[in-house]
Amino acid sequence: MTLDISSAPIASDTTDHAPPYGGRSSGSAPRPGRAGGRGRSALLHDLPASLAVFLIAVPFSLGIALATGAPLTAGLVAAAAGGLVAGLLGGTPLQVSGPSAALTVITAGVVAQYGWRIACAVTVAAGLLQLLLGSLRVARAALAVSPAIVHGMLTGVGLAIAIAQLHVVLGGSPQSSALANLRALPGQLAGPHPPALAVGALAVAVLFCWPRLGRLPGAAGRIGTRLARLPAALVAVAAGTTLSLTLGLHLARVELPGWQHHALAAAPSGRLLAEHWSDLLTVVLTVTAVAGVESLLSSVAVDRMTHTTSDLDRELRGQGLANMVSGLFGGLPVAGGAVRSTANVQAGAVSRWSAVLHGCWVVLAALALAGGLRRIPLAALAALVLVVGVQMVSYAHIRRIHRHREFPVYLVTVLGVVGLGVPLGVTLGGTVAGLLALHRLTRARVDVTAEPDGSHRVRTHGPLTFAAVPRLSRTLGRIPPGAAVTVHHDGSFLDHAAYEALHTWRAMYQAAGGRVAMVTDQHGRDAALDPDGTMEPDPAAGARQFRAWTPWMGHHSIEQDGGDAHGRLLDGVRGFQEHTAPLVRQELARLAREGQTPSQLFLTCADSRMVTSMITSSGPGDLFTVRNVGNLVPAPHEPGAADDSVAAAVQYAVEVLEVGSITVCGHSGCGAMKALLDGIHEQPGTPTPLVRWLRNGRGSLARSKRAPASFTDRPAADPVEELCITNVVQQLDQLLANPAVERRVAAGTLRLVGMYFDFATAQAYVLDNGTGRFAPVSAEHCGEPLQQRTPVTA
């Protein structure tokens, strides 16, 4: 989830983040657990990072406690337990835990129905169950929950939180449920409390405007960048408090009771257990699941930011112990949070001591700053939590879920959580997800085409199961007797019922005088599909995987010199229309309706040997590709050499398409690099268009002489290859001259990746962040996305 309430950009649990190109990042600092991250060196990084996280954690913890109806001290206890216990014992060193925003609605319901002390007991029981699950090493299984359900739950909780806190901002009190809050909202809007509304509006304005101060032009932008380092949450609460005190506004303020009156956990009475054991068990299981999944997703997000691998089972055990401690001492449920963790990483933390120190500062603040905290207006805290709730609705996730056709699951989960509560809402979402998966598993299409010669062609699409047998039988029954029939099976799952139906029909049809040939689209499946040995391999096998180069290998050895080049092109188009178009037509139709949403910009050379779809295994809609001679990115500061076409494509990809990464890919034997080494760009006289264009590579030539790039496993073959890989590094630098790229990279939402492809060995290399050298991409990493595996470095 994305909770952008601090001055630092906040990580998403499904979005990959990389350190800015050429800048210091968590990846370049000493890694957790290494010698360089211990002692004085670690303290120099972790101490300021812990203070930055502390300034975010205090107002956030108070706001969550306010939203749940718990004592406000409970939020501070949870923040301290999350920092000290989960920070010290968890499996993700740079994750910072604290009160869980996703559990706000659940905790509020328990507090309202059973009281605060029973809510603490529920937290202890959930922590004990998390500890047990972590000991059984099942943490990875929690990540199997459908993202549509997870994000639907977060959206529903966020909406419920926002609606409830809107009442407080307007000067009223929230109701017992989201539906009750919705029903009461018109009346509250009709008669707001002006002082509370003024303080809340000021806090909301600060939360949205403070991180954007750095975008101001000129000197104001430079000053704004420095000011924006202060957490927006802290500034918003401070601004609301200052306004209320300056004007002497009569407002409800933080009621922070003395610690001598702080309520601790209490075991439920025997009567309560006897009457409500099933409800309490459901709540415990829900808190366990929601807090566990939230923590594990946040751990994955931290791993992607820091390029490390966490021990998720240890993290779950650490979270369980933190919840037990928090509940025993009267605190809220604890979970790893994206807000605090991202702030910790971006503040430069290198070890778990940052989270532990943040917990120490929270304890000191709770003991020494109670008087100052009591001056905070509730409207300012409510505004903070309202913004958090609204930003839990991630439109990027909605678009991604819709693209994967999971929106019904998401929508049902959201409506269920808002209308019925988290447990029933998640159950409804899971039920719809299961039904949708079953529908897709049993969905099959059978098409019959009559050919001009009187034969018929039958094509199956999707898994053929018992549910598809009636449709299959009806379709085959409409084929006139005595014809020649070819049945093309696409290689999807074929269960026994469909197998029997298909082969029974074939036997009966052949007995009546017809001829039947069966063809499969996947090699190696013939014996399983047709024990008689009559199933023939499809000559178009492999087209389903969009590997157009597979049939190309069969004809490219034909003499290429002379002949009709245009005729060969049309032959290729005919092959596409016959074999590939039927397989991709549905996907291309979807792209035509929805438009393009590529995740990456791929900038490479115009060389005819570079087939981007082949080396990236990509298909329609995956890459926004820019090709030019030498894969150059013109630097606008070079007079007479700038070119707006590349800059325009980059700006469109970054600002309109919002790609998450830009890959600059060079290749071996590049003619542009050979020309630069030959000095073609220095020819006297009026420069030709090619010469003017190649002048954009002068920076690469100078860099190659000064600090050439290299490989990790071998030396460069010759000066041309050395210039080719150095050119990739140089073009990544020149990309940052584009203001759109610079802004996104600085915000941590855009990654720059360097890549090189060697034709002779069919080997791809990627620029490694740790060494600054090009490392080969090995086959065992094929399942890992390129932009998540290897960041770029200067």
φ, ψ of residue 530 to 5 degrees: the values are -150, 90
CA–CA dist 601, 482 (Å, integer): 54
| Residue 310 DSSP class | -
Q: Residue 533: which region, alpha, beta or left (left: phi > 0; alpha: psi -120 to 50)? A: left
Residue 492, number of CB atoms within 10 A of its CB: 15
Rounded (to 5) percent helix, strand, coil in the chain = 60, 10, 30
For the ranges 215-224, 228-237, 751-760, the one whose mean pLDDT is highest: 751-760
Q: Does pLDDT of 642 surpass 50?
A: yes
Burial of 572 per CB tally in 10 Å (0-12, 13-18, 19+): middle
CA-to-CA dists, residue 611 to 55, 111, 617, angstroms = 50, 61, 10
With beta carbons less than 8 A apart as the criterion, state whether 742 and 715 touch.
Answer: no
Query: 448-457, 493-502, 602-611: which has the minimum mean pLDDT?
Result: 493-502
Q: What is the pLDDT of residue 261?
A: 65
Band (293; pLDDT cuts 50, 70, 90): confident
405-414 pLDDT, tens digit each:
889 999 998 9
φ, ψ of residue 81 to 5 degrees: the values are -65, -40
For the ranges 33-47, 194-208, 319-333, the one whose mean pLDDT is highest: 319-333
Q: What pairing do the DSSP bridges indicate for beta strands 623-628 and 535-537?
A: unpaired
257's tokens: 């009771």
Q: What's the whole-number mean pLDDT along residues 228-257?
A: 81
CA–CA dist 243, 383 (Å, integer): 14
Q: What's the whole-number mean pLDDT along residues 196-225?
A: 85
Average pLDDT, the chain: 79
Residue 660, number of CB atoms within 10 A of its CB: 22
